[in-house]
Amino acid sequence: MTSKALNSFLNDNIADLKERGLYNEIDPVQGPNGPEIKIGDRTLINLSSNNYLGLATEDRLKQVAKQAVDSHGVGAGAVRTINGTLDLHLELEKKLAAFKGTEAVISYQSGFNCNMAAISAVMDKHDAILSDELNHASIIDGCRLSRAKIIRFNHSDMDDLRKKAKEAVESGQYNKIMVITDGVFSMDGDIAKLPEIVDIAEEFDLITYVDDAHGSGVLGKGAGTVKHFGLQDKVDFQMGTLSKAIGVIGGYVAGKANLIDWLKVRSRPFLFSTAVSPADAAASTKAVEILMESTELNEKLWENGNYLKAGLKQLGFDIGNSETPITPCIIGDENATQTFSRRLNEEGVYAKSIVFPTVPRGTGRVRNMPTAAHTKEMLDKAIAIYEKVGKELGVI
């Protein structure tokens, strides 16, 4: 017998979400998550994946993944600290450290648990964390888990950060203070003001933590936001995911050897959760090698991003102030945004609507994620569909 309390909790809340239009419907994808995807029996131009460089479906990655299955099997068999550390994990971490230009790297099973792991391994209830108000959910959860005092600063507002850093230091209440930010903010495509953040951190002796989930593979010719600004020596934690531009699964922190050492003995998902599979580790290593050998995919990503942006802007859409290939198309009203996304879908473009509470009320948008794998023909077709739907719904 199931609990009556649980049943009513679940049924009431699910019904409430559905009524408020906040229930997330999932569209299962048949086959690969490439520049086009198959949903049901329809093939759509895919503008919603984080597969920035098209590596999730790349032949060279598939090949090394298959080889790793043959040579190492399908599972790591244990947590990293028992005997789940395979040579493939160490190769990946070595490659990532070279790519990021840091002394060492620790890898985790996902970007999400990497943030949970790394923040809470270093910060505790005697500390404070200055966190950009638009930081990703995994940062928020990592901060909460640490039990440090969380001090939110206004989005990319350096005066507010400086003021709050000063107050925190002068209060004398905290042992350590961290400033934490996304490198690239994925809802608008804007870049964190890292040079200023690093200056403020130096002034107040703050620990610096950059979540570069959307900057790695994209900025700094692929090496990320920190490299983009030439600040490799000034950021303590360069966190990244292996699930977006790298195309596989996993997360990592790049930093000084003593930091990585500490995370290996203190971060709980590393100690208590099984390592990523051999195929994942091998494919990620291959992806990093590809990025280190050539900037071709990175250049293609930017070319496609600029092409899509120019096309939508020319049609009169509000594409916000993105500084990266992420291209929001701001519609405003929540229902209108959802209708817009649905009509795009019916016409052949898969681009998800993003509305409150993920973004502020009245700034609903359809977010486009062009990738290096899109062809000009696909982007032209998408732009033509945007024009048709935009005119039909009176957005342009």
Structure tokens at 71: 């040579």
Q: One of 89, 95, 244, 309 is an active-site residue; which one?
A: 244
Binding mask 323-362 vs ligand PMP (x if CB under 6 A, - otherwise)?
Answer: ----------------------------------------
Q: Which stretch of DSSP H or E encloses residue 5?
A: helix 4-19
Q: Site for ligand PMP (CB under 6 A): which residue of 52, 99, 112, 386?
A: 112
| Angle in degrees, CA 30, 33, 38, rounded to 5 | 35
Phi-psi region of 134 (alpha: psi -120 to 50; beta: other; left: phi over 0): alpha
- Which of 228, 230, 126, 144 is CA-nearest to residue 180? 144
- Which of 25, 95, 75 is CA-nearest to residue 338? 25
Question: Could you tell me the smallest distance in angstroms from the CB atom of residue 380 to ligand PMP?
Answer: 28
CA dist., res. 323 & res. 161, Å (int): 22
Q: Please report whether residue 322 would count as binding ligand PMP according to CB under 6 A.
A: no
Q: Is 155 a catalytic residue?
A: no
Question: Could you tell me the smallest distance in angstroms from the CB atom of residue 243 to ligand PMP?
Answer: 4
Q: Output DSSP code: residue 30.
A: B
Question: Could you tell me the smallest distance in angstroms from the CB atom of residue 181 to ligand PMP?
Answer: 10
Helix (H, G, I), strand (E, B) or coil at 298: helix
- Which of 60, 99, 118 is CA-nearest to residue 251? 118
Number of shown-chain residues binding ligand PMP (CB under 6 A): 14
Nearer to ligand PMP, 226 or 378 (CB): 226
Rg (CA), the chain: 22
Q: Please report whether residue 304 would count as binding ligand PMP according to CB under 6 A.
A: no
Q: Which stretch binds ligand PMP (CB under 6 A): 162-170, 171-179, 206-214, 322-330?
A: 206-214
Q: Site for ligand PMP (CB under 6 A): which residue of 35, 142, 224, 251?
A: 251
Burial of 59 by CB count in 10 Å (0-12 exposed, 13-18 middle, 19+ buried)? exposed
Q: Site for ligand PMP (CB under 6 A): which residue of 211, 236, 280, 334?
A: 211
Q: Site for ligand PMP (CB under 6 A): which residue of 48, 241, 298, 363?
A: 241
Nearer to ligand PMP, 370 or 390 (CB): 370
Nearer to ligand PMP, 50 or 386 (CB): 50
Question: Could you tell me the smallest distance in angstroms from the CB atom of residue 242 to ligand PMP?
Answer: 7
- Which of 332, 151, 316, 212 is CA-nearest to residue 143? 151
Q: Please report whether residue 111 would count as binding ligand PMP according to CB under 6 A.
A: yes
Q: Which stretch binds ligand PMP (CB under 6 A): 78-86, 91-99, 105-113, 339-347?
A: 105-113
Q: Site for ligand PMP (CB under 6 A): which residue of 92, 198, 213, 385?
A: 213
CA distances from 34 to 362, 375, 378 (A): 31, 11, 12
Nearer to ligand PMP, 61 or 213 (CB): 213
Burial of 232 by CB count in 10 Å (0-12 exposed, 13-18 middle, 19+ buried)? middle
Q: Is 376 a catalytic residue?
A: no
Q: Site for ligand PMP (CB under 6 A): which residue of 110, 120, 277, 371?
A: 110
CB 139 within 8 A of CB 115: yes
Q: Which stretch binds ligand PMP (CB under 6 A): 32-40, 95-103, 111-119, 286-294?
A: 111-119
Q: One of 89, 149, 164, 214 is an active-site residue; which one?
A: 214
Binding mask 129-148 vs ligand PMP (x if CB under 6 A, - otherwise)?
Answer: -------x-x----------
Q: Is 228 a catalytic residue?
A: no
Q: Which residue do the tokens 């933590």 mark?
A: 209
Q: Which stretch of DSSP H or E encloses residue 65?
A: helix 59-72
Phi-psi region of 50 (alpha: psi -120 to 50; beta: other; left: phi over 0): alpha
User: Which residues are near ligand PMP by CB under 6 A?
Assistant: 110-112, 115, 136, 138, 182, 186, 211, 213-214, 241, 243, 251
Catalytic residues: 186, 214, 244
